[in-house]
Each structure stands twice: as structure tokens, then as C-alpha cells.
Structure 1
Amino acid sequence: MSTISAIAETAPVAKTARWTGRILSGLVIVFLLFDGAIKLVPWPVVTETMDKMGYGSSETLARSLGIITIVCTVLYSVPPTSILGAILLTGYLGGAMASHVRIDSPLFTHTLFGLYLGLMVWGGLWLRDPALRNFIPFRRRLAS
């Protein structure tokens, strides 16, 4: 084992990085829980949006997506299952992006919104989870 990898394994997460990660993750969690919750209620805005996306105004599908969103978000919010939750949310957000591509939504405001959320999901997790930091390290260039 090299000295650099031994240091990386034992290096603690800085307090500022951990709190930044918690805040970033908290924002994502609140947003996705709200998004999932409104899909559980058959409000016209939900069914109209589903119809615009080409899925019809199915209340059953909206509720199913709401349950999936909430379950994945809860998994993400619990530290032992946070990486699994992040993986599942990545897939979910990728599907949302694909749906926006299919209907030719505006690129930066609608289509890439899933990418923005995904970056916040993984960024927040990377900042607060030392195991993930070791798995996906950003290495500094050593001076020659």
C-alpha cells in the first residue's frame, strides 16, 4: 500500500465539506420528497404535466412515480443506504431527462434539470461520505 492511498483511507472529511454536503443533500431531499408527494395527490397540475409528457393523465402512473420518488429519496437520506438511493435516483432522473428529450423540451431549463439534480445528489453525497470519497477520489497533482 502506498503512502498516498494510506493517507486517503484515513483522512477525515473536513467539517465545512461535511456540512456543505449535508445542506446540498438536504435541499435535494426536500425537493424530491415534495415532488413525490404531489404525485400522490391527483392534482390537475400533475395530470396535465403527465399528459404533456406523453404519458396520458393517468393518476395511477403519477402515484406510482410518486411512490418510487419517495422510496428512492428515503433510501438516499439514510446513511447506510445513501449510495443505493443515489444510484436509484440517478436512474430515475435519467428517465426524466429522456422524457424531456422525447418531447423536445427546452434544454437548459427542463431537459438538463435532471442532470442538475443528479450532480447535487452525488456532490452532496461525495462531500459528506468518506467512503465515497475514497472510492471516487479527486487527486491533486504532485509538484515535480
Structure 2
Amino acid sequence: METPNIYLSRKNPSKGAAITGWILSGLCILFLLVDAVMKIALAAPSVQGSTQLGWPAEHVQGLGFILLAPTILYAIPRTAVLGAVLLCCYLGGAVAVMYRMNVPFYFPVVMGILLWVALYLRIPAIRSVFPLVKN
């Protein structure tokens, strides 16, 4: 008897799951774009927050560009998975910096989880890699 290969399943998500995934993605993209633009524009709250975490003020703008690139990749459907991987790298660095400064670091962890949940809800291939089925 042959066992079904769940990794080859490409069943499209339900309409509700896809809409929820797009809404979550949109909210994540909106937040990350605002954060990146504030860093690039050297907005006072962004510079102040980064310097409190130990970043020199002259590096804040560079961090904004580093955040902007994967956010744009995440916003484009064909490159969303690559963008999510790169954003998780960025957020992992944020967790490390916040942990080192003894600051609560739950927000970047939650953001990383939301990025992947949104992709899971809207992309069938992600569901194939991480199947949530009973055997």
C-alpha cells in the first residue's frame, strides 16, 4: 500500500485563509516600510531608539536601507519567501541586540512569526513544506 506524499500536495488555500494571509502581509509590510523610511529619513524617534540600543547615530540610515531591501522583496509575491528569510535574519539581529541590552525582545519575534504565518496562509508551497495535518 502506498502512502500519500503530503509534500506534493499543492491544494490552494481557502479564500478566507488567502485573504487573511494578504491582510497580515500588508500589515507587516506597512509597519516595516514605516520603520525603514523613518530610519532612512533619520526621524528623531527612530534615531533615539536605535542609539538607546547601542547603535551609533550615523549607522541608523544604513540600517534603514538594510531593512528596506528585504521588505520590498517580501512585498513582491514572486520573491516573498526570499524576503521573509532576509527579514527573519534582520529581526534575529534585532533580538540579539535587544537581548544584549536587556530590553524586552518579544516584538521582533512576533513580527517574524507573523511574516511566516501570512505566507503559510496564502502560499500552497509553504503549506507543503510545513504540513499541519494529523497522520
User: TM-score, with normalisation over the residues of structure 2?
Assistant: 0.91
Q: Deviations over 1:71-112 (max 9, x none)?
A: 101101111111100000000001001111011013xxxx11
Number of equivalent positions? 134
User: What letter is aligned with 1:113?
Assistant: F
Identify unmatched segments of 5+ residues in structure 1. none
Q: Which of 88, 92, 95 lines up with 1:94 in the alignment?
A: 92
4+ aligned runs moved over 6 Å, structure 1 = none
Q: Which has the higher contact order (CA 8 A, sep 6+)?
A: 2
Q: Which of 112, 129, 134 lines up with 2:123 in the alignment?
A: 129
User: What letter is aligned with 1:133?
Assistant: R
Question: Structure 2 vs 1, CA of residues 4 and 82 (structure 1 numbering), >3 Å: closer, same or farther?
Answer: same
User: What letter is aligned with 1:29?
Assistant: I
Are 1:24 and 2:33 matched, yes or no?
A: no
Distance 2:45 2:53 in 1: 12
Partner of 1:49: 49
Q: Which has the larger radius of gyration?
A: 1
Percent sequence identity is 36
Distance 1:91 1:139 in 2: 28
User: TM-score, with normalisation over the residues of structure 1?
Assistant: 0.86
Give the CA RMSD over aligned residues. 1.7
Partner of 2:107: 113
